[in-house]
Amino acid sequence: MPLLDKIKDHSAVIGVIGLGYVGLPLAVLQTQKEFLVIGMDEDQNKVDQVNKGKSYISDVSDEDLAQAIGSKRLTALTNLNLIEKCDIILICVPTPLTVNKEPDISAIIKITQTIAQHAHPDMLIVLESTSYPGTTEEVIAPALMRQNFEIGKDLFLAFSPERVDPGNPSFKTHNTSKLVGGFTPACCATAQIFYEQSISKIFPTSSTKVAEMTKVFENVFRSVNIALVNELAVLCDRMNINVFEVIDAAATKNFGFMPFYPGPGVGGHCIPLDPYYLAWKSKEYDLRTRFIELAGEINEGMPYFVLAKLQRILNQAGKCLNGANILVLGVTYKADTGDLRQSPATKVIELLQKEDAQVTYADPYATTFNVGSVEYHAKKLSPSLLSKSDCALILTAHSQFDYEMIVRHAPLVFDTRNGTRLVDKQSDNTKLL
């Protein structure tokens, strides 16, 4: 049966390679549309958890995962040889940075080599992992061509970037607009038809490069604007102006302004990483993207600003950071999620360690947190815990935190997220970023 017919009657077998924040929700979604899905991941622990119906990702419930496993529509394994049994392959592997902040697409290269060995005619291969513009065309396509496949005729290749927003209650995989860029028009059309089976809005682009650039640009846009308000926060601190009040006041304008808010740094997989992919690629074209690189520098400097201001707050209270009991409130990178990837709390706590501060933390979404060789265990937030601290440092403004209690019982509060905004601001023990 031709691939398009298999897609339309949902008899196509889908292979999802990488069962992380992108791959697992995508795999479960396809089972809900009655596709048969083979999930593949090199992490045996993830595979075991999936097959037990136990989700390790907040956006996938145990109930939905258990239903996918119980229906026999989802199977997870580490064996990549079953790629040859699949009609559609979705690549959802990590794309981190090297220590020198250069793209590390080794996972894409490795899996591409394996796919090329097991590929067969009438197969659709889609890269979902974020990478620099040109990755699909320069890395994946040549590997398939070396196996004598004519892309767009023998098999189909596309790029369709993930747009995951962990913890977002309104937008999940099925109702988040999906970009699709094909290596050829036939590739784009095939990928579009596939994603239309499970996702509400599909937007085709003219090429894989356009889709790749669009995805990176989305996160560059956020990075630059966050850097702008972070720099504004530093200036407002010098001028003794509440930066959050300034932003909220600016947001009353009916047009031409989009509010972004400062914080102790940026986290997650996208914003701290993706801009560097574009900055690195730009050098191939004799262009240095100074604006993008500057934004990265500003955002990466915020933990140092937090440390400096914390020292000043303690000094004004007659205390020293060395030996101080610092209670960190929130260590995930984003409020109301358990996602620890690239959390700015990691760098802040690392800096506190170097100053010999005594660090404890409370976070309802993260029971353990590792910084360097130290493993921290979450404490239950209580008046007693707060009163024993020298300063409560709010790094993530979880809605579960009782901010009235925090302000009432902590000797000092340093709020980097404006979580205490609904608490009486007359309290002189609370300082904002």
E strands within 198-329?
202-205, 325-329
| Catalytic entry in 86, 187, 270, 391 | 270
Cα distance between residue 10 and residue 6, in whole Å: 6
Cβ contacts of 270 within 8 Å, gap of 6 or more: 130, 219, 222
Which token pair is 204? Answer: 């085709």
E strands within 33-87?
36-40, 74-77
Q: How many CB atoms lie within 10 A of CB 411?
A: 15
Cβ contacts of 318 within 8 Å, gap of 6 or more: none
Q: Nearest 5°: CA angle at 395, between 392 and 401?
A: 70
Amino acid at 182: G
**Residue with token string 């992490």:** 43
Cα distance between residue 1 and residue 141, in whole Å: 25
Cα distance between residue 48 and residue 340, in whole Å: 21
For residues 89 and 83, the answer to whether their CB atoms sit within 8 Å is yes
Would you call 320 a catalytic residue per the annotation?
Answer: no
Cα distance between residue 121 and residue 81, in whole Å: 16
**Half-sphere exposure for 357 (CA within 13 Å, toward CB):** 28
Residues with a catalytic annotation lie at 270
